[in-house]
């Protein structure tokens, strides 16, 4: 094989990736051994090993202790809908999506006070160390973990009010817009920035992923007259879900 200017291990990884994609190496098939790769492609053991590492980092194959490396079954990505439309019920985005898709969604949450980190403080426009209410969620669809989310609300806004705990009280679970309206804070804008990165260990543990898997992260912030009243990181496994936006035409 002629490798040209591209590193040899990337060319080997690309060829094996193509075989996985076209079904020549179907799910649960054992990947060719390091010796077999070396012989077939005329490369060194180091190149063969690095090519296998690339495929593992991409989540295409997985190692099984004492057995070898196998092609992973690739899930068909499912859609998570995001919408600029908010019904009169004031439901949270996840509850809207579950109702719209007819999904069997469940979630669990835990709230606790903490000092704002420098990053959270910057997003909320407050000083580092100011108290915030942090709420962590794990969302499931049919029992399968699909999304984890962490939100922060400045206690300067919600402290000592009936909506201080997002999932408790008379408006527990109603979503940021309706909860804030109950304390005369009118949310008039929301900004979402979508990016991708390797999942953190605790995120992948909650989502059932393995080290190296990529996640999509939606950084969401709600504003009232230019003041941030809630910011959140919504984390979704990139190999299992796609985020679809439905934006109203004004």
Quote the tokens at residue 77. Answer: 């990505």
Give the model's pLDDT for residue 1.
45
- What distance in Å separates the CA atoms of residue 247 and residue 250, rounded to the nearest whole number? 9
pLDDT tens digits, one per residue of 105-147: 788 999 999 999 999 999 999 999 999 999 999 999 888 889 9
Domain ranges in the chain are: 8-71, 78-245
Neighbours of 152 (CB within 10 A): 24
Locate the DSSP E strands across the chain: 61-64, 68-71, 78-83, 105-115, 131-141, 144-154, 189-198, 214-224, 227-237, 241-246
Question: Is there a shared CATH topology between the 8-71 domain and the 78-245 domain?
Answer: no
Q: Are strands 189-198 and 214-224 parallel, antiparallel or unpaired?
A: antiparallel
Percent of the chain residues topping a pLDDT of 70: 88
The answer regarding whether domain 78-245 maps to CATH 1.10.3470.10 reads: no
Give the model's pLDDT for residue 99.
47
CA distances from 150 to 26, 146, 147, 212 (A): 37, 14, 10, 21
Query: Residue 111 forms beta bridges with which residues?
Result: 135
What does the angle CA 28 – CA 60 – CA 69 come to, to the nearest 5 degrees? 50
Range from 86-100, 109-123, 140-154, 207-221 carrying the lowest mean pLDDT: 86-100
Quote the tokens at residue 166. Answer: 């997002």
The structural architecture, per CATH, of the domain 8-71 is: Orthogonal Bundle (1.10)
Neighbours of 174 (CB within 10 A): 21
The dihedral through the CA atoms of 23, 39, 67, 144 has a sign that is negative
Give the model's confidence band at 101: pLDDT under 50 very low, under 70 low, under 90 confident, else very high.
Answer: low
Is 240 exposed, middle or buried, given 0-12, 13-18 or 19+ CB atoms closer than 10 A? buried
């Amino acid at each position: 094989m002629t490798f040209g200017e591209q590193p040899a291990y990337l060319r080997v990884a690309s060829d094996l990736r193509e075989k996985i994609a076209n079904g020549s190496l179907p799910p649960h098939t054992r990947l060719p051994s390091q010796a077999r790769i070396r012989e077939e492609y005329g490369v060194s053991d180091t190149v063969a090993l690095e090519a296998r590492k690339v495929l593992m980092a991409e989540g295409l194959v997985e190692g099984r202790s004492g057995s070898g490396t196998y092609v992973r079954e690739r899930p068909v990505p499912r859609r998570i809908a995001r919408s600029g439309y908010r019904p009169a019920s004031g439901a949270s985005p996840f509850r809207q999506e579950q109702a719209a898709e007819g999904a069997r969604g469940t979630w669990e949450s835990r709230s606790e006070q903490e000092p704002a980190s420098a990053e959270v403080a910057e997003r909320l426009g407050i000083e580092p160390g100011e108290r915030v209410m942090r709420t962590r969620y794990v969302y499931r669809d049919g029992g399968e973990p699909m999304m984890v989310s962490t939100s922060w609300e400045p206690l300067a806004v919600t402290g000592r009010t009936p909506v201080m705990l997002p999932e408790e009280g008379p408006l527990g679970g109603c979503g940021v817009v309706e909860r804030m309206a109950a304390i005369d804070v009118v949310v008039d804008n929301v900004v979402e920035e979508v990016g991708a990165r390797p999942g953190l260990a605790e995120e992948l543990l909650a989502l059932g992923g393995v080290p190296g898997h990529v996640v999509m992260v939606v950084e969401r912030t709600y504003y009232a007259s230019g003041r941030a009243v809630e910011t959140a990181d919504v984390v979704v496994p990139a190999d299992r879900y796609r985020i679809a936006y439905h934006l109203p035409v004004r």
